[in-house]
Structure 1
Amino acid sequence: MRHRNRLNLIGPLLLFALSATASFGALAKAPAAAAAPPPVPLLWKVSDQDNAVYLLGSFHLLKTTDYPLAEEVEAAFEDAASLVFEVEPSELTSPATMAKFQSAAGYENGKSLSTVLPEDVKARLAALLSASGSSIEQMETTEPWAISLGMVMGMAQSAGFRPEQGLDNHFIRRAAEAGKPVAGLETIDTQVAAMDGTPHSEQVYSLNKLLESPQEAVRELLDLHQAWRSGDVERLDGKMRKEMQTHTPVSYRMINLDRNNAWLPQIEKRLSAPGNDNTLIVVGSLHLIGEDGVVEKLRARGYRVERICSACAEG
């Protein structure tokens, strides 16, 4: 990773999350709903001659009402001898991980937020922060991708989503309780580099989209969550993957396509391992859907692929 100024990332992200919560809370809070059926799972089983890999599409922040999970997901967990996540769980809680985010979210070569944001975008951001008693100067050392992350976290929290309820964290806890081994498909360095390496122009585009219509951004978040709950692959592909591919193509390649390609050999290694131990892999839904998704890439390599979903018409 390139050398960067050190900064306290926790403060800006928490500040922005609190600001966003105050600004978006009225729209995001909805009346309590009656108990809903379990989410329709984004779950596939990929098999070779002797063992299998289950691929489960995650929503990284969920609500308590998103549980319990479908019986098929519980069965896949029970059948799996081990679990794999995007990053090995112990690395996520390492003190070094926050330091890496802190370093990555800063600037180099004398740049700052004011030098990369167009005046209209800076004005929108300043207005939003001012409404909560904050200022853009407190964000001056933070790159747009990290500000967008804080903004989305604020939106999600105001809508009742919590990272500890996310599907990844749910199964990290379950694996620990069951004594099942866990592993990661990549290191935190790889994940941070993917976000940090995206062009400033595309970072600014994404931030401006959030700032132009925060209420619409909240609605889109809720719509994505509903699409995930419904197991609607086509809707998720259109609203999440294709939009990202169209509007921020370099970010799409770095955050999705390149990482998918890097994960394939590791998944295939699990399939080619001797014995019949199966693996449950839990990753963000974006990585599984569409023509660039892991599911279709494995299907194209000749593996047996089936969607495990009793509520789906699709096989």
Structure 2
Amino acid sequence: MRRQIIVMFTGLFWLLAGLAPLPVAAQEAAQKSAPVANRGALFRIEHDGHVAWLFGTIHVGARSFYPFEPRLMTALREAGVLALEVDPLGPQDEIARAVREHGMYQNGRGPASAELPAPYRPRLERLLRQYGIGAQTVAPMKPWMIASLLAVREFEKQGYRAELAVDAWLSEQAHARGQKVVELESVASQMALFGRMAPADQARFLRESIDAVEDKEQADDARAILQAWSQADRAALERIAAKTAADTTYSGRFVSEVLLAGRNPALADGIEKLLKQERRSVAAIGVLHLVGTGSVPELLRGRGLRVERIY
């Protein structure tokens, strides 16, 4: 599951996909014929009469995802605040600035293909053609960002769209209700996790992504994540978490140690603070933060909060 990092990074997905948010009217139309089903994972957290609902998201979507089941929809309507990792409807210039700083070459360095061993360069070119990505699009991108772009295109190939992303839908609904939306992280902090990788490690990250696309692992991982999330399949989500934790590749360890374990404590801090400040709130973060050892719910339980898994 190491290469499907894009399901956890909102701002990056939107910018790479180059898409605008779906208007409220279109979102409401999408709800009218959609079946109601449990999606992702949902927890209820309580402390001193305050209640926060914690929902596991993915940063892609389809019309059939919406609306959510009644308990979650009621919680969303009653919440004083919606907390997201990053608000995809927030200032777009901040997203663009963070990507320029952490995802693009500066001072004329590049292209990323020059960082790859010679046998990988034609392989990357073939994949870019396969996904319909022009050479000029990736010319200024660092290797880690090209790897992420390949993941974006795989989800699109399987029919999932950025403009229907779960967190974007949640944000659109909250803003339409006049509800407060807060960010638990920032786009810059998310991008910096990748940008701090040494050039050699970024090239390794891209090499492993190329291998994963060619051996169909990336496609298989995308299907597994989306199926588990769309069916709220608790056992499948736990298997994905276990597979991610057991991955010993460079990109696998980066996901486990940096993108998950490294971020979970701060996400738990933000959710605990929200719970104690607001009588009713909803926090929605990437679903892989809610499963496995050292998950956000596990950390919150360790702090003496009452945490109940609904599904």
Q: Say whether residues 1:101 and 2:99 are aligned partners.
A: yes
Per-residue CA distance 1:138-161 (angstroms, 9 max, x = gap): 634322221122212222222221
Normalising by structure 2, report the TM-score.
Answer: 0.78
- Aligned match of 1:233: 234
Q: How many angstroms does 1:176 deviate by?
A: 1.1
Q: How many angstroms does 1:13 deviate by?
A: 4.8
Contact 2:34–2:63 (CA under 8 A) maintained in structure 1? no
Q: How many angstroms does 1:251 deviate by?
A: 3.9
Q: 2 CA distance for matches of 1:119 and 1:135?
A: 20
1:68 alignment partner, SS class: coil
Q: 2 CA distance for matches of 1:190 and 1:228?
A: 26
**Equivalent position amino acid for 1:62 in 2:** G
Q: Say whether residues 1:193 and 2:192 are aligned partners.
A: yes
1:283 alignment partner, SS class: strand
Give unpaired runs (5+ residues) of structure 2. 1-11, 20-32
- Aligned match of 2:223: 222
Query: Residues 244 and 126 of structure 1: is their aligned pair in 2 closer, same or farther, counting only changes over 3 Å?
Result: farther
Q: 2 CA distance for matches of 1:195 and 1:50?
A: 39
**Equivalent position amino acid for 1:253 in 2:** E
Per-residue CA distance 1:89-110 (angstroms, 9 max, x = gap): 553x332321321232223695
- Aligned match of 2:265: 261
Q: How many angstroms does 1:211 deviate by?
A: 3.1
Q: How many angstroms does 1:81 deviate by?
A: 1.3
RMSD: 3.0
Per-residue CA distance 1:36-72 (angstroms, 9 max, x = gap): 5523441101111220211100011111012221112
Query: Residues 235 and 78 of structure 1: is their aligned pair in 2 closer, same or farther, counting only changes over 3 Å?
Result: same
1:282 aligned residue (281, 284, 298): 284
1:272 aligned residue (270, 276, 279): 276
Q: Which has the larger radius of gyration?
A: 1
Q: How many angstroms does 1:124 deviate by?
A: 1.3
Q: 1 CA distance for matches of 2:80 and 2:130?
A: 51
Q: 1 CA distance for matches of 2:173 and 2:133?
A: 40
Q: Say whether residues 1:295 and 2:297 are aligned partners.
A: yes
Normalising by structure 1, report the TM-score.
Answer: 0.77
**Equivalent position amino acid for 1:270 in 2:** L
What pairs with 1:71-110 in structure 2 (closer than 5 Å)?
A: 71-89=70-88, 91=90, 93-107=91-105, 110=109
Q: 2 CA distance for matches of 1:216 and 1:50?
A: 46
Name the stretch that deviates more: 123-132 or 93-102: 123-132
Q: How many angstroms does 1:279 deviate by?
A: 1.1
Query: Residues 13 and 305 of structure 1: is their aligned pair in 2 closer, same or farther, counting only changes over 3 Å?
Result: closer
**Equivalent position amino acid for 1:243 in 2:** T
Q: How many angstroms does 1:286 deviate by?
A: 1.4
**Equivalent position amino acid for 1:63 in 2:** A
2:261 alignment partner, SS class: helix
Q: 2 CA distance for matches of 1:277 and 1:233?
A: 28
Give unpaired runs (5+ residues) of structure 1. 1-8, 18-33, 310-315
